[in-house]
Amino acid sequence: MTLEPPDDRRKRRTHTAVLDAAQVLFLREGYRGTTIDMLAGAADIAVSSIYANFREGKADVYAALAWRTATRHAAAMSAPIGAESSPRHEVAATFDRYVAFHRENPLALRILALTDVDVGESELATKAKAQIDGLLGGLIESFATAVERVGCDVDPRALVLVSWAAVNGAYSLFQRRMVDEEGLDAMLGIARADLLAHVGGDRAA
């Protein structure tokens, strides 16, 4: 079993249908509240088809969904910003993309950390954790390099980690309904301003 979609077209359609169903159900019902029967029903496939594609069942589905989420996150963060953009705007745009990804993917914080799965439940989950950690680490280093290129009055990597943690914390509070959307936007605005206060270049970014 691999984290990537199968090469076979029919199996790939099943793989995608199961992950699409899982993304909706895990968000709505939670991982523990979602059953294999629910996944099969939402994906419009037989339960046996899930096990044919995900040997350990729900835990493997979770791992594969986590990896798909991570690769989409990397693609969103790594897309070209534009030749006309200044280095400072690149930093601001990278922060904004991080915020936008989590706004559009409310399950991402939990699933990227494999919060709901014990890696002992699934070899695929163990593999997913290692690959996700490597991918997210690469995003951090890339963001830190962009910050360093602009010029920074603190350690670039530490600054990126602090801003990343601020966004994660704001979304976590929002998802727990401890702040409303207005409060979330205010917190994200402060985190953005704090990041840009430490980098050089055009102050209008």
Q: Could you report the per-residue pLDDT of 66-98, keeping only the tens digit for each?
A: 999 999 999 999 877 766 678 888 899 999 999
Tell whether the model's pLDDT for residue 62 goes beyond 80: yes
pLDDT over 70 (residue 155):
yes
Write the DSSP assignment of 119-139 as a string of letters: GGG-HHHHHHHHHHHHHHHHH
Residue 182 pLDDT more than 60?
Answer: yes
pLDDT value for 160? 97
Residue with tokens 């699933």: 111
Q: Locate tokens 């993917």: which residue?
A: 105
- Quick one: DSSP state of residue 8? S
Structure tokens at 35: 């059953």
Q: Note the pLDDT of residue 84.
A: 63
pTM metric for this prediction:
0.90
pLDDT (0 to 100) of residue 91: 93
Q: What is the mean pLDDT of residues 31-56?
A: 95
The domain 9-197 belongs to what CATH superfamily? Tetracycline Repressor, domain 2 (1.10.357.10)
Q: What does the pLDDT read at residue 1? A: 64
Nearest to 51 by CA among 26, 24, 18: 18
Give per-residue pLDDT as tens, 3-20: 888 888 988 999 999 999
Can you name the residues that pair with 199 across neighbouring β-strands? Answer: 152
| Residue type at 175 in one-letter notation | Q
Q: Is the pLDDT of residue 203 over 70?
A: no
Cα separation, 137 vs 144, whole angstroms:
11
Structure confidence at residue 171 (pLDDT): 96
Q: pLDDT tens across 87-129, in order?
A: 888 899 999 999 999 999 999 999 999 999 987 888 999 999 9
And the tokens for 38? 């629910």
**pLDDT value, residue 119:** 77
pLDDT given at position 87: 83
180 CB contacts (<8 Å, ≥6 apart)? 174
Asked if residue 62 lies in contact with residue 110, where contact means CB atoms within 8 angstroms, the answer is no
Give the pLDDT confidence score for residue 184 in this predicted structure: 98
What local confidence, expressed as pLDDT, does residue 78 receive? 85
Which residue bears the tokens 């991982």?
A: 31
| 190-202: average pLDDT | 89
Domain extent listing, the chain = 9-197
Percent share of the chain, pLDDT over 90: 81
